[in-house]
Amino acid sequence: MGNDEERATGLGSLRALQAAGWMVVVAISLVLIREGKELFIPLVIALIGVYLIKILERWIGCVKIAGRGFPSMVSLVLAFVAVIALSFVLFSIIADNAMRVAEFAPRYQSRLVAIQTEFFLAMGFEQPPAIREFLGGFDLPGKVTLLATNLASLLKTAILILIFGVFLLLESRFITKKIAAIFPSEEKRVRVLGILDRVDCDIQTYFGVKTAVSLLTAVLSYVVMKWVGLDFSEFWALLVFILNFIPTIGSIVATVLPGLLALVQFEEWQPVIVLVVAITVIQQLLGNIIEPNLMGMTLNLSPLVVVMSLILWGMLWGVVGMFLCVPITVILVIILANFPSTRWAALLLSKDGSVRL
């Protein structure tokens, strides 16, 4: 009995020591991620860019001209150029519109204060001092400028992102050879390559479907915003595209922000109602019906996990981290789900205890 108790005590102490060790590793990792964000953010963006390039490369390779497809290297170069050109267009839209939005913000803020004053008067009671002080002191131009600055700051790291992307593309060509060298046994090599292929396929599926659905959502929203005459429709459409990568929360914000601008821009209620209803219908149709059917169980994150991820990466990397948090979490869940020893963690992070196997 004494030996059993000593063995149980020793085992408990070992597990406590392991848990403490993991806590230290996690703490150190978070510190390194935060302090090294100037390098990690471009690396993560480059990784996402590489997957987009690989998806485009596959699509371009399927194109037939005179019965013949493009060679692999030509498809890769065309995909690389297309992603770089698209990134340049997106950043140009941000640069052209973000500061203009900040310039118009004081006028919008004055209109917002007037609307809420009219609302309280119509309700028959005086506006509460707390709300008056909050709206009066809320620096809307400063907030818009801060958002634009954080988004535009990515331009400063464009060269670093490009360098990382090139090296990641070059490195991906030799993964199979490295795995073959590490695992001489054919059985182990086939199993490891199978797992890596599933992970790679799931990540490509996520980014391919999510990018296509987000782009379609942004285009349809842009058409609606242009139709009702909303200011800075290009900027808001781009914001809809980016926010659509954040499930639930992103869709709500992508609907509320243009709706608020319409509220302070138009004197009548009809354009506001039409805009909000149309964008809501687009978000619900594409986000809750079309996307889940295309995505399957790849994106099955718990809403609580999304919120916690948003908070964590927002604290670590600021606004940029909030936009990157869900792609990072999805990649993590996909990797965890494809290894039997870590599948429990993927199930814990999932919405309903189901993950794609």
Q: Which of 280, 296, 312 represents a domain boundary (last residue)?
A: 296
Task: Say whether both 258 and 228 belong to one domain.
Answer: yes
Residue 210 within any structural domain of the chain: yes
User: Which phi and psi (to 5°) does residue 301 adopt?
Assistant: -80, 145
Task: Say whether both 268 and 351 belong to one domain.
Answer: no
Question: Is 66 exposed, middle or buried (CB count within 10 Å of its CB: 0-12, 13-18, 19+)?
Answer: exposed
Q: What DSSP character marks residue 70?
A: P
Task: Say whether both 275 and 315 belong to one domain.
Answer: no
Which pLDDT belongs to residue 108? 65
Task: Say whether both 291 and 306 belong to one domain.
Answer: no
Residue 279 within any structural domain of the chain: yes
Residue 92 within any structural domain of the chain: no
pLDDT band at 220; cut points 50, 70, 90:
very high
Task: Say whether both 255 and 290 belong to one domain.
Answer: yes
Which pLDDT belongs to residue 14? 66
Q: Which helix (H) or strand (E) holds 69?
A: strand 68-69
Task: Say whether both 325 and 311 belong to one domain.
Answer: yes
Task: Say whether both 303 and 226 belong to one domain.
Answer: no
Dist CA 38 CA 25 (whole Å): 21
Which pLDDT belongs to residue 130? 45
Evaluate whether 183 touches 189 at the Cβ level (below 8 Å): yes
Q: To 10 degrees, the CA torsion angle through 155, 157, 162, 163?
A: 160
The mean per-residue pLDDT over the stretch 219-234 comes to: 88
Task: Say whether both 255 and 286 belong to one domain.
Answer: yes
Q: Which of 268, 296, 324 represents a domain boundary (last residue)?
A: 296
Handedness of CA 94, 98, 99, 104 (dihedral sign): positive
SS3 at position 300: coil
**What's the chain's length in residues?**
357
Lowest mean pLDDT among 54-58, 116-120, 137-141, 186-190: 137-141
Residue 85 within any structural domain of the chain: no
Residue 353 vs residue 54, higher pLDDT: 54
Task: Say whether both 249 and 279 belong to one domain.
Answer: yes
What's the chain's average pLDDT? 75
Q: How many domains does the chain have?
A: 2
Task: Say whether both 327 and 285 belong to one domain.
Answer: no
Task: Give the global pTM.
Answer: 0.70
Lowest mean pLDDT among 31-40, 91-100, 249-258: 91-100
Dist CA 165 CA 160 (whole Å): 8
Task: Say whether both 312 and 282 belong to one domain.
Answer: no
Residue 196 within any structural domain of the chain: no
Please identify which residue in the block is written with the tokens 């790291």: 157
* pLDDT tens readout for residues 121-180: 666 555 555 444 544 555 555 555 555 555 555 555 666 777 777 788 777 777 777 877
* pLDDT tens readout for residues 273-283: 888 899 989 88
Residue 34 within any structural domain of the chain: no
Evaluate whether 116 touches 243 at the Cβ level (below 8 Å): no
Range of the structural domain that residue 321 is part of: 297-357
Residue 186 vs residue 234, higher pLDDT: 234
With 80 as the cut, is the pLDDT of residue 213 above it? yes
Q: Which of 296, 313, 342 represents a domain boundary (last residue)?
A: 296
Residue 267 within any structural domain of the chain: yes
Dist CA 112 CA 93 (whole Å): 26
Task: Say whether both 282 and 321 belong to one domain.
Answer: no
Residue 171 within any structural domain of the chain: no
Question: Which of 313, 318, 343 has its CA nearest to residue 328?
Answer: 313
Question: Which of 356, 21, 13, 34 has its CA nearest to residue 204?
Answer: 356
* pLDDT tens readout for residues 98-122: 666 666 666 666 666 666 666 666 6
Q: Which helix (H) or strand (E) holds 65?
A: strand 64-65
